[in-house]
Amino acid sequence: MRPLSLALSLVVVSALAFAAAPPWRIIGPGGGGSVFHPTVSPHDSRTALAACDMTGSYITHDGGVTWRIVSLGAPAQFFLFDPSDERVIYAQAGALFRTSDGGATWSRFLPREVQSVTMGDDHASARLHTAGGEPAGNATAMAIDPEDSRILYLATGATLWTSYDTGGTWQNSATLPGRAREIWIDRHSLRGDRTLYVASDNALSIRKDGRWRNTQFPGTIASIAGALPVFYATIAAKIYVSTDGGATWRESALPGFGGQSSVIAVAADHPEIAYVSFNHLRTPVHTTSGVAKTTDAGRHWETVYDNVHDAWLSDRLGAGWAGTPYGIGVAPHDPNVVYATDSGRVMRTTDGGKSWDPAYSTRAPDGNWTTNGLDVTTCYGVHFDPFDPRHLFIGYTDIGLWGSDNQGESWY
């Protein structure tokens, strides 16, 4: 790895602020690759973000009918909406980025000062080197005060930072027992002395009345979601629920035998409603996988991933090709709106899981397929028919060869 000059570093970073209307548009069938971290706006459930494993992130403002790619230079690890201002969104992608215009343009929020940039792996990932004294760009969790969005809580591994001026200055607030994965704020606590909950892999750290204490999880968490005072976690492929702010935990069983649970998500304003993805669940009829839902804080679960209306992927590659969802995003105010992402698709329900529709591809009038703007796979070349300019092919990783007879307006 070779350090770049500061001037070149600034050029690299400044290039990450992108215009709202790029001169290029995405064409293709849609989907086809892994999608992670679907996150729904608390202000409008039609607005959501998702990340892919191919560096890009995507944003929609119409419920997945159309998506726009946002390139932040690295795969995003989380998104966070400002609870007070619908135009402000944060994204962790190598560095911490911020948009103040609803996702049209983005700029680096942290670190503010970069001394050098080194690059060296086969993904061309950049590492930003700073002088210290403020959080670096490797944030692992973040939360915003629900009543004053100038107050930010940010974790960089096991270090918790606090800012009272929208990131102008930062205070090192605590050293946690492990790498922080999620932060929650008790909105009913005093604004000057908020009660915080911070989840690491094995413990829940709680700050109340200015004092910290740690409670242990029943094991190492794979996924955790919280809507205070209720927490849901998956540990060793089992579901655990706490309804008393993490003080006690109980195992919560799926409706069958031997199911393995993975990612879990909760409706922030409806703590009794949560969704979990699972596989290898044995029932009296067959073995199944998909998504289950609880409406009573984990006392009972029902499977809700049966009525799935997919686009091209299931017909082309088989219903099981994409696997079980490893991303679930629930609208904070409307638990009926849920996004589920997997190895090839974004699926969306607006009726609490009774039915699911594709939010990555649409059937064109000619019966073929066209992208919603979310194409997540490597294109190895566009091949034109020398005798017919409307006829072309694209070769894709994972999903094979696609053809178009109308200059890319639709694909088969």
Instruction: Give residues with Cβ within 8 angstroms of 220, minimum separation 6.
Output: 201, 202, 235, 236
Tokens representing 194 are 């908020």
Under 8 Å between Cβ of 198 and 176: yes
Cα–Cα distances in angstroms (integers) from residue 311 to residues 2, 30, 240, 358, in the given order: 45, 9, 34, 6
Confidence (pLDDT) at 338: 98
pLDDT (0 to 100) of residue 23: 78
DSSP string, 63-87: TTSS-EEE--SS---EEEE-SS-TT
Please state, in angstroms and rounded to a whole number, the distance separating the CA atoms of residues 184 and 332.
14
Q: Which residues of the chain have pLDDT under 50?
A: 1-19
d(CA 164, CA 176): 20
Q: Supply 290's token pair.
A: 């998909």
Q: Would you state the structure tokens that stand for residue 309, as one six-digit string?
A: 């209306």
Exposure of 412 by Cβ count < 10 A (0-12 exposed, 13-18 middle, 19+ buried)? Answer: middle
SS3 315: helix
Q: Which amino acid is at 81?
A: F
What is the Cα 33 distance to its own chain's centre?
15
To which H or E segment does residue 11 belong? helix 6-14
Residues 6+ apart with CB under 8 A from 233: 217, 218, 221, 222, 223, 224, 225, 239, 240, 241, 242, 249, 264
Tokens of 263: 């990612």
CA distances from 297 to 196, 197, 224, 226, 375 (A): 21, 19, 14, 11, 36
**Is there a contact between 180 and 153 (Cβ–Cβ < 8 Å)?**
no
Question: Do the beta carbons of residue 140 and residue 159 sit within 8 Å?
Answer: no
Class of residue 209 by CB neighbours under 10 A (exposed 0-12, middle 13-18, buried 19+):
exposed
* Selection from 372, 313, 308 nearest residue 33 by Cα: 313
The answer, as to whether pTM is greater than 0.85, is yes
